Amino acid sequence: MKPIAIFRHTATEGPGYLGLFLDHQAIPWRLIRVDEGEPIPLAADIYSGLAFMGGPMSVNDDLPWIPRTLALIRDAYAKDIPLLGHCLGGQLIAKALGGEVGLNPIKEIGWGGVSVTNSATANKWFGGIGNFDAFHWHGETFTLPPGAELVLSGQHCANQAFALGNHFGMQCHIEMTEDMVRNWCSAGADEIMVAASSPAVQPVEVIQIEMRDKLITLHRVAEEVYSRWLRGLRLG
């Protein structure tokens, strides 16, 4: 069984609940630590699927691993190897497949409501869930790549997730765990203070107070999305 490759772009934004879910399903996976200089594979077909996590950088930054990642995503798409993107990961997939990434009207940090679109495709990915509070930490957003369908939207960021066949890209985070939320709040406390005037940025105290209740629902959402994504994988 070929493993799933999970790409980490910064030490604090690892697989989170995705890794826990895959372990529970006994699905093999390998973490590629891009932040530590691990090379981007030249071809996608040594893996059954590719998952890309978040990061503080922009996909438009001049970083040597970004063009290599975009090429790998295009290779996976051409070979119908499922792609999964969280925040920066969703932006990478969108850009690689023909979308654009630029500034969101306002910065989003913390818990914020999102709505599943009323479509058969969205229902397949979210299992009948209509809306929920996702976790956000971004200042940029993507346009939909050609052929993709919007399946999740929010008040402060219209494009929160898209589906394109077996490929799925998100602007929001569904992979959060309690430790991740605490670590991000600690590492990003100054960023939160600077952006406090944004109506979509929550204080650290509010993020952490709301965390336990929100994570229960978020994990249910993650299980729906990840289960649907796994059905498209070639695990042989």
Q: pLDDT per position in the chain (236 positions), as tens?
A: 899 999 999 999 999 999 999 999 999 999 999 999 999 999 999 999 999 999 999 999 999 999 999 999 999 999 999 999 999 999 999 999 999 999 999 999 999 999 999 999 999 999 999 999 999 999 999 999 999 999 999 999 999 999 999 999 999 999 999 999 999 999 999 999 999 999 999 999 999 999 999 999 999 999 999 999 999 997 65
Neighbours of 120 (CB within 10 A): 7
d(CA 142, CA 162): 10
Residue 140 lies in a domain: yes
Provide the pLDDT for residue 145. Answer: 98
Residue 69 lies in a domain: yes
Vertex 50: Cα angle to 111 and 120 (nearest 5):
60
Could you report the per-residue pLDDT of 152-180, keeping only the tens digit for each? 999 999 999 999 999 999 999 999 999 99
Provide the pLDDT for residue 1. Answer: 82
CATH of the domain at 172: 3.40.50.880
Domain count, the chain: 1
Domain membership of residue 112 as a residue range: 4-230
